[in-house]
Amino acid sequence: AALEADLRQGLALGQFLLYYQPQVDAQGRVTGAEALLRWPHPTRGMVPPVHFIPLAEETGHILPLGRWVLQTACAQLVAWAQDPVLGRLVLAVNVSARQFRDPDFASGVLALLHSSGANPRRLKLELTESMLADNLDDMVEKMAALGAHGIRFALDDFGTGYSSLSYLKRLPLDELKIDQSFVRDVLVDPSDAAIVRTVVGLAHNLGLEVLAEGVETEAQKDFLARCHCHVYQGYLFSRPVPVAAFEAFVLGSA
């Protein structure tokens, strides 16, 4: 309850920040970033998202917080659009099930893009399998409405939820994100290796991009590259960092 009051106050006082983690292709070029919410609390210190996001979802604070994330992401895209290198990046934003379920979600995202002047083609929304429990038709309809404006969609944490492969046929997705739990032991656990190979093949056959999360070592990256996975995210390249450090990373590796 105390944390909930702090959450409300944190929003009002503007205590939240976005960190950015690069997404890198096989040539080492940064193709985009995932925006990750951070809460440097004045007395609690850095509160991890795994603590406050579930609470924000339970209490409904995720609606204004999610709006703040999207608004901040759009403002960042507008700033990057001034630069020839940063202007090519695609920014991925996590969307929670409760946020996506909001009947005004699609119109809200479009309104934020319009008022900020951000290019919808530079925005990617990360959805999770947990959203499928709701209503597949509604999900498809919202994705189509946003997709018509050029917004892209990734399925986050792929393979960890109650997945039925039939929904992959119906959802207008652009990318699968292989969950880090499969990447962690990919070199030592034959099951993880088989899963990774299969998911990469599935993505290619469905015409989707595929990104591996949680890549921490060169050896993991090499294995993934041999599986024809072409985009990576993880500590091997960079932790999630504040915007200035992210921009320096991109411009330094360009």
- Positions that interact with Mn ion (CB under 5 A): 94, 126, 156
Using rule CB under 6 A, residue 175 touches ligand G: no
Tokens, residue 165: 């492969």
The Cα angle at residue 195 between residues 191 and 196, in degrees rounded to 5: 120
Using rule CB under 5 A, residue 6 touches Na ion: no
- Tell me which stretch binds ligand G (CB under 6 A): 5-13, 135-143, 158-166, 208-216: 208-216
| Pairwise CA distance, residues 96 & 159, whole Å | 17
Minimum CB–partner distance for residue 157 and Na ion (Å): 4
Paired strand residues for 19: 36
Q: Binding ligand G by CB under 6 A: which of 214, 230, 247, 249?
A: 214
User: Are the CB atoms for 130 and 96 separated by under 8 Å?
Assistant: no
Using rule CB under 6 A, residue 1 touches ligand G: no
Q: Binding Na ion by CB under 5 A: which of 129, 157, 175, 247?
A: 157
The CA distances from residue 98 to 59, 147, 188, 253, in Å, are: 10, 20, 37, 37
Task: Give the count of beta carbons closer than 10 Å to the beta carbon of residue 116.
Answer: 17
| Pairwise CA distance, residues 11 & 101, whole Å | 21
| Pairwise CA distance, residues 196 & 140, whole Å | 26
Using rule CB under 6 A, residue 131 touches ligand G: no
Residue 37 binding result from Mn ion, Na ion, ligand G, none, given CB thresholds of 5 to 8 Å by partner type: ligand G
Minimum CB–partner distance for residue 182 and ligand G (Å): 12
Residue 7 or 183 with smaller CB distance to Na ion: 183
The residues that touch ligand G, with contacts defined as CB under 6 A, are 21, 36-37, 48-50, 53, 69, 94-96, 156-157, 180, 213-216, 234-235, 240
